[in-house]
Amino acid sequence: MGKQLVVGIGDMKLGRQEGTIITYALGSCIGIALYDPMIKLGALVHIMLPEKGNIADSNIFKYADTGLRETFRKLYAYGADKRRLTAKIAGGAKMFDMKGGSSLGNIGDRNAQSVKRVLAQEGIRVLKEDTGANYARTMSIDLQTGMVLIKTFGRPELRL
Partner 1 sequence: MKSYEDMNAMELDVFREIGSIGIGNAATALSQVLGVQVSMKLPRVSLAGYNEAIASIGDPEEIIAAVLVEMSGDINGIMLYMLKLDFINAILARLVGKYIEDFSQIDELSASALEETGNIIISSYINAITKLANIEVGLSVPSVAVNMLGGILSVPIAMFGYSTDKLLMIQGEFLIGDTQLKGELMLLPDVESLNFLMKKLGVADI
The residue ranges that bind partner 1 (CB under 8 A) are: 8-10, 24-29, 48-49, 53-54, 57, 59, 62, 93, 95-100, 102-104, 107, 134-138, 151, 153-154
Q: Shortest gap between Cβ of 146 and partner 1 (angstroms)?
A: 23
Q: Which is nearer to partner 1, 21 or 85 (CB)?
A: 21
User: What is the rounded CA–CA span in Å between residue 45 and residue 9?
Assistant: 9
Q: Considering Cα of 137, then 117, then 102, then 100, what sign does the dihedral take? A: negative
Catalytic member of 21, 29, 43, 149: 29
Question: CB of residue 40 vs partner 1: minimum separation in angstroms?
Answer: 27
Quote the least distance from Cβ 36 to partner 1, whole Å.
Answer: 28
Toward partner 1, which CB reaches closer, 93 or 115?
93
Dihedral class, residue 40 (left if φ above 0, else alpha if ψ from -120 to 50, else beta): left
What long-range pairs does 66-69 form, CB within 8 A, spacing at least 24?
67/10, 67/12, 68/32, 68/115, 68/118, 68/119, 68/122, 69/118, 69/122
CB atoms inside a 10 Å sphere around CB 137: 26
Single out the residue of 80, 92, 91, 9 nearest to residue 43, CA to CA: 80
Nearer to partner 1, 133 or 147 (CB): 133
29 is catalytic: yes
- Closest CB 63 distance from partner 1, rounded Å: 9
Nearer to partner 1, 71 or 111 (CB): 111
Task: List the catalytic residues.
Answer: 29
